[in-house]
Amino acid sequence: MSAALRRLILPSSTNPVRNYPPACLSSAVNHISLSFSSVTSSSPSNPPESHTSPSRTRTRTPLETQFESWIQNLKPGFTHSDVVTALRAQSDPDLALDIFRWTSQQRGYKHNHEAYHAMIKQAIVGKRNKFVETLIEEVIAGACEISVPLYNSIIRFCCGRKFLFNRAFDVYNKMLRSDDSKPDLETYTLLLSSLLKRFNKLNVCYVYLHAVRSLTKQMKSNGVIPDTFVLNMIIKAYAKCLEVDEAIRVFREMALYGSEPNAYTYSYLMKGLCEKGRLEQGLGFYKEMRSKGMVPSGSCYMVLICSLAMERRLNEAVEVVYDMLVNSLSPDMLTYNTVLAELCRDGRGNEALEVLEEWKKKDPVMGERNYRTLMDEVYFLNKG
């Protein structure tokens, strides 16, 4: 390419093209100032007078009205019997509490054991347990003189509450230290009954058995003659702890107190002896009670039946089962299964099938399902 043509096509490097930016336009902004005029409202020269409503008398509640009427009835110089009558007449425990507290603040008056007893009974019926606990603490602290009915009510309330169980024995010990308010038969009945409710496990039974022994000795030393109910509780405590010799000793002493053994007495002894392994004695008590026309409980029947079956005294076990069914009591599946299994192991499988058929006819509680289960068990044992 020739030099002249190259000069025409290519731009000259010595004179470059320069681009200048356009000029910026500035706009003038006019500021407009706004002035606000305050608008004043004309207030009236004479403001309206404020009308105050006259004070209204508060309406009294029915509880306040009843309280005032009872206070007016309790004229100056009221006695303890007047206060007790007023407390017992109340159906509302809160109203009774107000009357009780108001009378205690009057000059020359102090609540006695009858007033505290009436108030505690009202609070218990009204389920004011916290207030009952407060009254109990006041009585124990010496707010009134000791009274056997009052303290028995306190013991009954404390025995029914788990966390007040020890408090019941505190009240009992205070009765022991008193001169004219010694514990009576009701006191020992409440305490023994509360102890027996805690005989749910064998290891726990031994813990409370010491308390039962102590109460029994103190009852005798105080000259309290136990009845059949109390003696049965003592026998039951010994039998549950498998102290069967002590239970039999108490049973022999019942005649000395003029008490006759009943079905519960024999049932406790029979069950304890069987669990101890002294089957012959337990069977003897069973025969003695049946000769007197007494019927054991269902649990005692089943313990005796299983004990006889395990000792391979199968004929006697079957007879006791029949006796149980005659008295409209039904053994459970374990009892049935124990007797039938021992019959099969003794080589008396056919006899087991026969007695099972007869038991099904006499026991309406067995049902078809349980019958089939027992039948399968007998067939399995005979086959083996």
- What are 76-112's pLDDT values in tens digits? 788 899 999 999 988 889 999 999 999 998 888 899 9
DSSP one-letter code for 232: H
In the block, residue with structure tokens 């681009």: 19
* Domain final residue, candidates 126, 157, 188: 157
Mapped onto helix, strand or coil, the DSSP state of residue 256 is: helix
Alpha helices by DSSP H, listed for the chain, are 3-9, 62-73, 80-88, 93-104, 113-125, 129-140, 148-159, 165-177, 185-196, 202-221, 228-240, 244-253, 263-276, 279-291, 298-310, 314-326, 333-345, 349-362, 367-383
Range of 384's domain?
310-384
Q: What is the pLDDT of residue 205?
A: 82
Q: Is 7 exposed, middle or buried (0-12, 13-18, 19+ CB in 10 A)?
A: exposed
Q: What is the pLDDT of residue 55?
A: 52
Q: How far is CA 182 from the centre of its chain?
A: 29
Contacts of 318 (CB under 8 A, 6+ apart): 339, 355
Q: What is the pLDDT of residue 221?
A: 92
DSSP one-letter code for 144: S
> Does 344 reside within a domain?
yes
Q: What is the pLDDT of residue 58?
A: 62
> Does 163 reside within a domain?
no
Q: How far is CA 285 from the centre of its chain?
A: 35
* Domain final residue, candidates 98, 123, 157: 157
Q: What is the pLDDT of residue 68?
A: 79
Whether the Cβ atoms of residue 109 and residue 131 lie closer than 8 Å to each other: no
Mapped onto helix, strand or coil, the DSSP state of residue 243 is: coil
| Amino acid identity for residue 177 in this structure | R
- Residue 56: phi, psi to the nearest 5? -100, 145
Mind giving me the DSSP string for 7-70? HHHSPPSSS---PPPPPPPP---------PPPPPPPPPSSPPPP-PPPPPPPPPPHHHHHHHHH
Triad 175, 177, 182: Cα angle to 5°: 40
Q: What is the pLDDT of residue 59?
A: 66
> Does 189 reside within a domain?
no
> Does 146 reside within a domain?
yes
User: Sign of the CA dihedral 211, 212, 213, 218?
Assistant: positive
Spans in the chain with pLDDT lower than 70: 1-60, 62-63, 202, 384
* Domain final residue, candidates 157, 179, 202: 157
> Does 215 reside within a domain?
no
Round to whole Å and give the CA distance between 5 and 81.
Answer: 146
| Total count of domains within the chain | 2
The answer, as to whether pTM is greater than 0.95, is no
> Does 289 reside within a domain?
no
Q: What is the pLDDT of residue 274?
A: 95
Whether the Cβ atoms of residue 151 and residue 176 lie closer than 8 Å to each other: no
| Amino acid identity for residue 319 in this structure | E
> Does 317 reside within a domain?
yes
Q: What is the pLDDT of residue 299?
A: 93
> Does 142 reside within a domain?
yes
Structural tokens at position 163: 């966390």
